[in-house]
Structure 1
C-alpha cells in the first residue's frame, strides 16, 4: 500500500503541476489579448473564447491521463499504451466501467487517479467559470456605460 500511495501522490503532484502550467499559459494569453483589446463580450467572440479555453484545459487533462497511463505501463499493468490510456480515462473521469482493472497489487492507484481527476476537473471548471464571469462582467459594464451615455446625452 505504501508504494501505491507514494507513486499515486507523486503522479497527482505532477498532474497538478501540469494543470497549473496550462492555467498559467492561458492566463498569460488572455492578459495579452486583453491588453491588445481583442477580447470582446459579443456572443460569437465569447463563445469562441470559452470553447478555446475548454479545449486547451481538456488537452491538459488528457495529458494527465497519458501520464497515469504511462505509469501503468511502466508498472507492467498494461502492455500497450492504448489500453492503459483507455483505462486511465475511465478512472480519471470516475466512470468506473470495471471492464479493465488493475491487479490487486496496484489497484489503489486507480482510486487515487479518480480523486486526481475530480480535483483536476474541478480546477478546469473553476477556470472556465472565471473566464465566463469576467466576460459577463465586461458585458454588464459595457452595457451600463452605454445606458449612462444615452441618459447623459438626452438631458
Structure 2
C-alpha cells in the first residue's frame, strides 16, 4: 500500500503540473485575443475560441490518461498500451466499470488516478466556465453600449 502511494503521488504531481501548463497555454492566447478584440469578436470567432479552449483542456486530460496508462504498462499490469489506456480512462473519468481490475499489489493506483482525474476534470471545467463567462460578460457589455 505504501509503495502505491510512493509511485502514485509523484504521477499525480506530474499531472497537476501538466494541467497547469495546459491552463496557461489556453489563457495566454485567450487573453491576447480578448485584449486585441476588446471582447467584440464575431459569433464565429468566439465559437472558435471557446472550442479551442475546450479541445486543449480535453487534450491535457487525455495526455494525463496516457501517462497513467504508460505507468501501468511499466509496472507490468498490462501487456498492451491500448488496454492500459482504456483502464486509465475508466479510472481517470471515475467511471469504475470494473471489467478490468489491476493486481492487488497495484490496485490502490486506481483510486489515486480517479482522485487525480476528478480534480483535473474540475480544473478543465473551471477553465471552460471562466472562458464562457468572460465572453458572455463582454457580449453583455457590448449590448449595453448600444
Q: TM-score range by the shorter chain?
A: over 0.9
1:106 alignment counterpart:
106
Aligned length: 146
Q: Given the alignment of the two structures, is residue 68 of structure 1 paired with residue 68 of structure 2, yes or no?
A: yes
Q: Is residue 28 of structure 2 the alignment partner of residue 28 of structure 1?
A: yes
| CA RMSD, 1 decimal | 1.3
Residues 99-138 of structure 1 deviation map (CA, whole Å, 9 limit, x = unaligned):
1111000000000000111000000000000001100110
Distance 1:94 1:42 in 2: 37
C-alpha distance in 1, partners of 2:46/2:28?
Answer: 18
Q: Could you report, residue by residue, the CA deviation over 1:37-80 in whole angstroms, capped at 9, with x for unpaired residues?
A: 28535433322222211111000000000000011011000111
Q: Aligned equivalents of 1:43 and 1:31: distance in 2?
A: 17
Q: Is the 8 A contact 2:93 2:114 kept in 1?
A: yes
Name the counterpart of 1:85.
85
The aligned counterpart of 2:55 is 55
2:40–2:142 contact (8 Å) kept in structure 1: no
- Partner in structure 2 of residue 10 of structure 1: 10
**Whole-angstrom distance in 2 between the partners of 1:14 and 1:40:** 37
Does 2:130 match 1:123? Answer: no
Moved more, 33-42 or 87-96: 33-42
Structure 2 unaligned residues grouped into runs of 5+: none
Distance in 2 (CA, whole Å) between partners of 1:3 and 1:121 is 26
Structure 2 length-normalised TM: 0.94
- Conserved? CA contact 1:39–1:45, under 8 Å: no
**Greater radius of gyration (CA):** 1
TM-score (norm 1): 0.89
Bigger drift between 90-99 and 32-41 goes to 32-41
